[in-house]
Structure 1
Amino acid sequence: MATAPQSLPLFYNRLEPLSSQTHADFRVRPAATAPFLAKQHAVPLTVEEFPLVQRRMPIVFSVGDDPVPLALMALNEGVNTFINEEGGLIEDETYIPAYVRRYPYMLAKLRPDSEDLSLCFDPTSDTIGAFDEGEKLFENGEPTEVTKGILNFAEQFEQAGQRTGAFIRELKEAGLLMDGEISIQPEGGQAFVYRGFQMIDEKKLADLRGDQLRKMSQNGMLPLIYAHLFSLSLMRDLFARQVRQGKLPQQPTSAALN
């Protein structure tokens, strides 16, 4: 059997290609909780999600040569202010990023010498397996509507990921990303300083030439940039959520967000 890539993304423990022969009797069942999310403070985003997320969570960019957009669900590692310890929603209206909703499935290359992508899944997930209950993935050797829906979502996510990558490349080429830092000082206490993320440099944005701004407006980048900038006002709201939930470190800290 072909094997999936060795380098695994966030949340995935293993990857196995979905097969109508090997997994003919597999079913999927809904998950009421996502325990793997309970201690995850930052989740990757696609650009299509910026308008939805910017009203609920801060959007930042990871550090490094290949930054990705991140929705912050807390400001400290090992904390999530939207998900409880069991992996359930603290508030029913919480937005869950598509990256999480895609799990345990994803499209992946099975061979490094091929560009073809195959639908794979994480066999350690308890939502897919040879169960007595749940919806079938295959019927008479053919994918069911459930499987087709899973594949369609994975394909849409892959396309969104490509558009997100193009957005990041444009930001880097324009030199708009800068190291971020935020200092939050509780009343009567010492400041908590958060670093280890990137953000848009508003001064460089304001200094862009007219033709550059026009291009960004026409290709849809400008609204995404402002969605990110507007979302940064939620940093203090997120800090306040941690305070209310008793999830702040014992001492003020200098923490990395990515």
Structure 2
Amino acid sequence: MSSENTPAPDLPLFYRDPQPLSSVSHAVWRLKDGDAAFAAETPFAPIVVGELAAASASYPVVFAGGDAQPLAVLGLERRNLFVEAGAWVEDAYVPAYVRRYPFGFIGTANPEGFALAIDAGSDRVAMSGDEGVALFEDGRPSEVTKQALAFCDAFQAEATATRAFAEALTAQGLLIDRRADATLPDGRTLGLDGFQIVDAETFAALPDDVVLDWHRKGWLALVQFHLASLERFSVLLHRQQRVAGVSQPSVSETVDVAPVHSKKA
């Protein structure tokens, strides 16, 4: 998904130099306290199925064009409207992808294998000195590294379940291309494209056997959370207007979620 002036990164979102953790190479590395400033300029974050309900209460949830990865939409341009002065706003859900940073998993030589990694480019990583918490103690993972491994392991399991859900949506032909367009009071236009949403009519016409199967898997509820979350595009517009200094946004102003062939800017 893209917004105006948002580049397509070659590395996973947020990561600049992910390295598999090693008790030899990273024996003296430490993890410092930090904030959410690293996420201040991203308009979206990946989410997994286990958090879709919680995320949908704070953000529009859409699907990336291509692999149908669920995404929480955080802004209408290259700005996260939920990070203020380096802190995530208290009344909004923080996606697990954000909470796990600067840790993560990277693939290994084994196609099914993953290794715990850390982003060496993160401001929270100290490669020397005494500031922060040690990643290794006496050659063994410290408590903070063990907790990161458990969190990332759970996230990876959810990612597998998320791929199954995304593949099912695609297989049933439910996803349709959309873009979001908004015009601010100063006349500036914002556009967000490259995402998909579930077509409500096609969803309502699913065969009975698919409906039963999806009910048992909890997927029907996930789709309903997604569809309901689209109303929150108006919340993004109001937050955008507040950032722009508009104290009383007009209730008549909305974000237009339109087909990709829309003529709007």
TM-score interval, smaller chain: 0.7 to 0.9
CA distance in 2, matches of 1:182, 1:24: 47
* Aligned positions of 1:52-201 closer than 5 A: 52-64=54-66, 66-76=67-77, 78-84=78-84, 86-89=85-88, 91-111=89-109, 114-129=111-126, 130-182=128-180, 194-201=192-199
Q: Which residue is equivalent to 1:4?
A: none
Contact 1:192 1:254 in 2 (8 A): no
Structure 1 match to 2:38: 36
Where do 5+ consecutive residues of structure 2 fail to align?
A: 1-9, 247-254, 261-265
Q: Which amino acid aligns with 1:95?
A: Y
Counterpart of 2:29? 26
Q: 1 CA distance for matches of 2:37 and 2:180?
A: 29
The aligned length equals: 241
Residues 42 and 70 in structure 1, CA contact (< 8 A), matched pair in contact too = yes
**How many angstroms apart in 1 are the aligned matches of 2:64 and 2:219?**
18
| TM-score, normalising length: structure 1 | 0.84
The normalised TM-score by structure 2 is 0.82
Residues 151-204 of structure 1 deviation map (CA, whole Å, 9 limit, x = unaligned) = 111111111111111100010111111112455567897986654310000000
Letter in 2 for 1:123: A
Structure 2: how far apart are the matches of 1:232 and 1:226? 10
Shift of 1:116: 2.4
Q: CA deviation at 1:67?
A: 2.1
Q: CA deviation at 1:110?
A: 3.4
Gaps of 5+ in 1: 1-6
**Residues 11/189 of structure 1: CA separation in 2 closer, same or farther (3 Å cut):** closer
Measured against aligned partners, the alpha-carbon deviations of 1:214-236 in whole angstroms (never above 9, x if no partner) come to 11111110010001001001111
What is the letter of the counterpart of residue 25 of structure 1? V
Q: Which amino acid aligns with 2:72?
A: A
RMSD: 2.8
What is the CA-CA distance between 1:131 and the residue it aligns to? Answer: 3.4
